[in-house]
Amino acid sequence: MKPPLEFYFDFSSPYGYIASRKIEALASKQGRSVNWHPVLLGAVFKITGGRPLPDVPLKGEYSKRDIERSARFHGVPFRMPEPFPVSTVAACRAFYAVKDGIGLSGRFSDKSGPDPQFSVTAVELAKALFRAYFVENVNISDAENVAKVAASVGCDVRAALNDQAVKERTKAEVDSAIAKGVFGSPYIVVDGEPFWGIDRFDQIERWLTAPF
Amino acid sequence: MKPPLEFYFDFSSPYGYIASRKIEALASKQGRSVNWHPVLLGAVFKITGGRPLPDVPLKGEYSKRDIERSARFHGVPFRMPEPFPVSTVAACRAFYAVKDGIGLSGRFSDKSGPDPQFSVTAVELAKALFRAYFVENVNISDAENVAKVAASVGCDVRAALNDQAVKERTKAEVDSAIAKGVFGSPYIVVDGEPFWGIDRFDQIERWLTAPF
């Protein structure tokens, strides 16, 4: 089995969302799976001096247009959310709580320690969070909204969102991503080769067949 | 005749260079021509707070790799120049001097006022400047080097580079581009619709057939 694609994204990133709707088909065509890694771009921007797109003069105006056009181009359901962007700390914590099975009630409350089902459900949750924000206009910076989305995939994350172990795990994931050079969303690593942007999927596709 | 593609770029932009090798084929497939508009990203960055790619933490490291990989992906001859990036004021002035036939000696010294051949030769010059910088590692921030490149397409621009009318024309072009929202390179406007980046050529191609 070849190594999975390492897929880094922020839950508030429209291009990350579009990528999330495309990456599994791209990977599976070449017999690959996908490792999902939500990160916090706010922490990254402190290092790079980056700013949320809407705040950048000229580029901000363009990006609004480009985001909606790119969603249409890729055939992905999309509605520009309000407010945008938002903090995704709660969404990120929920993801890692589910992935690691930390502090959960409900569906997984009878389990402890790693379980293969955790990763599957974490990806389900990631997709549901993206859909909530970018299709249904649900503000996922709100912990209560995150908890509702998690409930829709059978997880009770209410306690987990304030769990110290979950907080530390989330921070460690973000720090590790930054240490690996992740500076934007989506950011995909294929066999050590980094690709930034939904607009590098054409290069990833060729790279998976034969590095160039 | 359908309107031309408006093609904005900086002579020091690697992605602008890659675009310059691809855009005429893209346009002519749909019966379009291309209007070439060199601009000065330095002036744009003063407004957007942008920085040259190599100066941005994390993103700078990535961009070096992405630039060379993108040139290979698109099958374009490329050698990362040193120094990079450079000022392209002289290159820009040479272009507009040739395009408008201002202050020239040599091939066009017997002409005055607009001539269709001027635009053709200006595009030849643009291609020669890009090739000098991104293939032959010639530092095109040096006015003497720009003059040599211009000589290779039959133009003597030595006097033009310090001509007040040429300076003003160049500044007016850059100001006009910024007023139109140009914030990066390449930036292509198709029937009023803006596209930023060599990685939007797939969208441009579809847009030229049918806007979506």
What are A131's two structure tokens?
């859909």
Residue burial B108-143, b: 16+ Cβ < 10 Å; e: rest: beeeeeeeeebbebbbbbbbbbbbbbbeeebbbbeb
- Looking only at the bridges linking them, the beta strands covering B193-196 and B187-190 are antiparallel
Length of chain A: 212
End-to-end CA distance of chain A: 22
pLDDT in tens, A114-136: 677 888 999 999 999 999 999 99
* Chain B residues with CB-CB distance to A182 below 8 A: 58
Instruction: Outline where chain A has alpha helix (H).
Output: 14-20, 23-28, 41-48, 59-73, 89-100, 116-134, 143-152, 164-179, 201-209
Q: Which of B56, B73, B195 sits opposite A206 (nearest CB)?
A: B73
Q: Is the confidence at residue A183, as pLDDT, over 60?
A: yes
**Residue B49 — pLDDT band, cuts 50, 70, 90?**
confident
d(CA B92, CA B69): 27
pLDDT in tens, B148-207: 999 999 999 999 999 999 999 999 999 999 999 999 999 999 999 999 999 999 999 999
Q: What is the mean pLDDT of residues A19-34?
A: 97
CB pairs below 8 Å between A and B: how many?
82
Q: Is A24 exposed, middle or buried (0-12, 13-18, 19+ CB in 10 A)?
A: middle
What whole-number percentage of chain B has pLDDT above 70?
A: 96
Q: Which residue of A has its CA nearest to B44?
A: A58
**Residue B105 — pLDDT band, cuts 50, 70, 90?**
confident
What are B28's two structure tokens?
């002519």
Q: In this structure, what are the phi and psi dihedrals at residue B44, rounded to the nearest 5 degrees? A: -65, -45
Tell me whether residues B183 and A70 touch, CB distance under 8 A: no
d(CA A67, CA A61): 10
What whole-number percentage of chain A has pLDDT above 70?
A: 96
Q: Please, are residues B186 and B194 in contact by the beta-carbon 8 Å criterion?
A: no
d(CA B51, CA A41): 19
Cα angle B187-B47-B169, degrees, rounded to a multiple of 5: 65
Q: Cα distance from B184 to chain A (closest Cα, Å)?
A: 8
DSSP-based three-state secondary structure for A56: coil
**Nearest alpha carbon to residue A187 among A177, A172, A175:** A177
Q: What is the mean pLDDT of residues A3-7?
A: 97
Q: Which residue of B has its CA nearest to A210?
A: B73
Which sign does the torsion angle of CA A63, A64, A67, A69 carry?
negative
Q: Which residue of B has its CA nearest to A48?
A: B57
Q: Cα distance from A8 to chain B (closest Cα, Å)?
A: 14
Q: What is the mean pLDDT of residues A152-171?
A: 94
Q: Which of B57, B181, B212 sits opposite A48 (nearest CB)?
A: B57
Query: Amino acid identity, residue B53?
Result: L
Q: Cα distance from A47 to chain B (closest Cα, Å)?
A: 7
Q: Is the confidence at residue A112, as pLDDT, over 70?
A: no
Q: Specify the pLDDT at position B193.
A: 98
Please write down the HEC assignment for all residues of B15-56: HHHHHHCCHHHHHHCCCCCEEEEECCHHHHHHHHCCCCHHHC
Query: What is each CA distance from B58 to A46, A194, B65, B113, in whole angstroms?
Result: 12, 12, 12, 49
Q: What is the dihedral of CA A109, A112, A118, A119, to 10 degrees?
A: 150
Interface test with chain B among A22, A65, A183, A198, by most B beta carbons within 10 Å:
A183
Q: Please, are residues B105 and B156 in contact by the beta-carbon 8 Å criterion?
A: yes
d(CA B91, CA A189): 37
* Chain A residues with CB-CB distance to B8 below 8 A: none
Tell me whether residues B58 and A44 touch, CB distance under 8 A: yes
**Residue B211 — pLDDT band, cuts 50, 70, 90?**
very high
Query: Amino acid identity, residue B24?
Result: E
> So what's the ipTM on this one?
0.93
Beta bridge partners of B190: B193
Q: Is A178 on the interface with B (CB under 8 A)?
A: yes
Q: Is B179 on the interface with A (CB under 8 A)?
A: no
Q: In this structure, what are the phi and psi dihedrals at residue B191, rounded to the nearest 5 degrees? A: 50, 45
* Chain B residues with CB-CB distance to A73 below 8 A: 202-203, 206, 212
Q: What is the mean pLDDT of residues A75-100?
A: 96
Q: Specify the pLDDT at position A144.
A: 98
Q: What does pLDDT average to over chain A?
A: 93
Beta bridge partners of A6: A35, A189
Q: Alpha-carbon Rg of chain A, whole angstroms?
A: 17
Which positions 10-49 of A are in contact with B (Cβ < 8 Å)?
44, 47-49
